[in-house]
Amino acid sequence: MKLNYRPILIKTFELVLLVLSFLIIFGPMTSLLLWSVAQKWYWPHPLPQEISFAYWKQALGIEKSLAIGAVSIIPAFFLSLGIAIVTVIIAMALAIPAGYALAKYKIPFGTFVMFLFLMPNAFPQQPIFVNVLQMFTRLGLAGTVPGVIIVHILVGLVFGVWITSATFRSIPPSMEEAARSVGATASLAFFRITLPLAAPGLLASSVFVFITSLDEFTGTFFVGLPFVQTLPLTLYSSSGYNMQFASVIALILLIPSILFMFLIQRVLKAEYVGGMG
Amino acid sequence: MLVSSSASRKGLNVPSYLFLLAPAVIFMLLMYAYPFLASIVRSFLDKSGAFSFENYLKTIDLYTKDIAFTFSVTLFNTACTAVLAILLAVYFRIRQNRITKILSAIYKLPLFIPFVVVAQMMNSFLAPHGLLNVALAQLGLIDLKQPLQLFNFAGLSFGFLWKQVPFAVLIMHGGFQMIDNSYIEAARSAGAGMGKVITRVLIPMNKSSILVSLVLVYSQIVGTFTLPYMLIGGKIPTTITVDIAHRVNYFRDFGVANALGVFSYLLVLLTAWYYLKTKLGETK
C-alpha cells in the first residue's frame, strides 16, 4: 500500500509556521520584558546576569535610588491620563452629533464632509502637525497642555466620527419613528430610544479615542515638546540612555492597548486600528 | 430619513443637522484643512514670504536620497505585506483547525501595540547586541564579533512588517470570510486544484479588500515617524518623516519641512485617490 505523505507534509508545514510566528511575534516582546528586569546585562551573555525589579519600583515611585538613573513615571502617567480624559470628553462631544447627522440626515454637502473626515487617513499627518505648531506658536499654545489636547482631539475625532456614525446607521430609523408617532419630541426620542441603543458603540468609540490619545506620539512631539512630557515622550527621551527604564514604560503602555483589544474586538473594524500610534 | 421639523416649525430655514455637524466640521477645517493647505502654500514661500522654489531646490539638493529611500522602503514593505498577508489570509480561509485558531489569535496582537512601543521593542531586539543577534549567535548562525547591523532598511522593514502584516491580514480575512463555500466547491468540482481556486476564485473575489488594505499600509508607511526616528534617526539614508522633524527641531526651517511634506503627499497621491474614491463610493 502506498502511503499518502500529503497530510503529514501539511501538518509539518503548519507546525513550522506556528513556531516561526511565535518567535517573530513574541521575540521582540521578550526582549522588552528581559530589559525591564535586567539589573546587569553585558554582552555576549544571552540572558541578563542579574535580574531585579529595581527599575519597575523606581518607575512606579515605590523606591527612590539615584544609582540607576531612572525617574518616576507617575507624573507623566497622570498627565497622559488627564489629557486622554479631557480629549475623550471634547472629541466625543464633537463626534456624537456629527456622527448622528451623517447617519440620519441627507446632507447636500455630505460628500465634502465625508471627504474632510477621510483625508487624515489618506495623507501623511506629520506636515499637519508642523503647521499646527507654527499656528500654536503664534497663539501661545505651543508647548502647553491645551495645545497637546487640541492635537489629540484632531487625531481622535476622525475615528470618533466614523465609529459613531456607523453605530447610528446600524440602528433602524423605525425605532425612533415609532417613538415620534406616539407623541415623543425629537430630542426625547433621541435620548430615550436611540442613545441607549447606540451606547455600546459610543462606548467603544470613546475607549478608542482614549487609547489613541494615550499612545499619541507624533503630534505631541511637535506641539508639546519640550514642556509636555506624556508617557510616550518619556519613553522616547529615555530610550537613548536607559534601556531598562524605556522598556518598563513601553510595557506599561502595552497594558491598556492589550486590554482594549479584548474589550472591543468585535465592535471594531480593522481599518481604524491601523491608524494607532 | 428624519425631517428637520423642529427647525422649520419655528420658521427658521436652517436645517438642524447643521447645528449637529458644525462644531466637528469647523474644528476639522481649522485644525486639519487649514494646516493642510498651509503646508502646500508655505512650501512655495521663502523666508521673507515671497513666492519661490528655494525650498524645493534645497530639498532636492539635500534629501533626494532620503526621498528615494522612503519610496523604496514603502514599496518593498507594501509588496512584502501583500505576499505575506494574502498567503496567511488565504490559509486562514481554507484551513480551520487548532493551529489556525492559535495563529489567528496571536496575529491580532501586534495590531493593538502602538508604534512608539513597537519602535522601542525593535530598538532593543534588533540592536547589534540585542536579543536577535544573541539568539542567532547561540544557534551558531552568526559570529557576535560581527553582528547583523539592523538599524537600517532591513530592521526598519522588519518593524513595519511586524506591525502591518497583521493589519492587512485582518482586513483581507474579513473579505475572504464573506466568500461562500459554494464558490470554492463549484470550482473544485469543475476540476480546479486548490492553487487554481486561490488564484482564480478567492483572490479575484476579494480584490477590493486586498487593495484597500494595501493602500492603507502604503500610506501609513510613508507617514510613520516614530519607528524610523527611533531606529535610524539622523543616519543617512533616513525617511522623509525624520528629515521633517530635524528640519523643524534643529533649524526651525518650516519652508523645507513643508516642501518635504509635499513630497510625502506626492508619494501617496495615487493611493490616496484610490482610498478616497472607494470610501466615498461606499457611503453613498
CATH code assigned at B214: 1.10.3720.10
Residue B2 lies in a domain: no
Domain membership of residue B99 (yes or no) is yes
Quote the cell numbers at residue A102.
451623517
Q: How many domains are contained in chain B?
A: 2
Which residues from chain A sit within 8 angstroms of residue B39, using beta carbons?
127-128, 130-131
The per-residue pLDDT for range A44-88, each reduced to its tens digit, is 677 787 788 888 888 887 777 666 666 778 889 999 999 999 999
Chain A stretch 100-139, residues whose beta carbon is closer than 8 A to a beta carbon of chain B: 100-102, 104-107, 111, 113-135
Q: What is the ipTM of this complex?
A: 0.89
User: Which among A134, A235, A260 has the least Cβ separation from residue B254?
Assistant: A134
User: Is B244 an 8 Å CB contact of chain A?
Assistant: yes
* Residues of B in Cβ contact (< 8 Å) with A194: none
Q: Within a domain: residue B118?
A: yes
Q: DSSP 3-state assignment of A51?
A: strand
For residue A122, what is the nearest residue in chain B, using CA coordinates? B272
* Torsion sign across C-alpha atoms B146, B150, B153, B155: positive
Look at residue A127 and tell me whether its pLDDT is greater than 50: yes
Do B243 and B173 reside in the same domain of the chain?
Answer: yes
Min Cα distance A119 → chain B (Å) is 8
Contacts of A55 in chain B (CB under 8 A): none
Structure confidence by residue, pLDDT tens digits, A141-192: 999 999 999 999 999 999 899 889 888 988 888 888 888 888 888 888 888 8
A254, pLDDT greater than 60: yes
Residue A40 three-state SS: strand
Statement to judge: residues B266 and B141 lie in one domain: yes
* Residue B1 belongs to some domain of the structure: no
Is the Cβ pair B283, A120 closer than 8 Å? no
Complete DSSP assignment for B37-65: HHHHHHHTB-TTS-B-SHHHHHHHHHHHH
What is the pLDDT confidence band of residue B2, given thresholds at 50, 70 and 90?
very low
Same domain, B241 and B265: yes
Q: What's the rounded Cα separation, in Å, for the pair B92 and A155? A: 33
Domain match, B30 and B127 both = no
Q: How confident is the model at residue B6 (pLDDT cuts 50, 70, 90)?
A: very low
Domain range spanning residue B161?
Answer: 53-283
In terms of domains, do B134 and B11 share one?
Answer: no
User: Do residues B125 and B32 share a domain?
Assistant: no
Residues B155 and B33 in one domain: no
Residues B28 and B77 in one domain: no
Residue B246 domain flag = yes
B94 and B13 within one domain: no
Q: Which residue has the higher pLDDT, B127 or A269?
A: B127
Are B16 and B141 members of one domain? no
| Low-confidence winner among A71-75, A261-265, B44-48 (lowest mean pLDDT) | A261-265
Give the C-alpha distances (Å, rounded to integers) separating B253 from A129, A149, B61, B244, B258: 14, 25, 15, 9, 9
Assess whether B26 and B79 both reside in one domain: no
Give domain status of residue B48, yes or no.
Answer: no
* Structural domains of chain A, with CATH: 6-59 (no CATH), 74-273 (1.10.3720.10)
The confidence score (pLDDT) of residue A43 equals: 64
Q: Is residue B199 part of a domain?
A: yes
Residues A229-234, mean pLDDT to the nearest whole number: 92
> Which of residues A202 and B76 earns the better pLDDT score?
B76
Residues B87 and B27 grouped into a single domain: no
pLDDT of residue B71 exceeding 50, the answer is yes
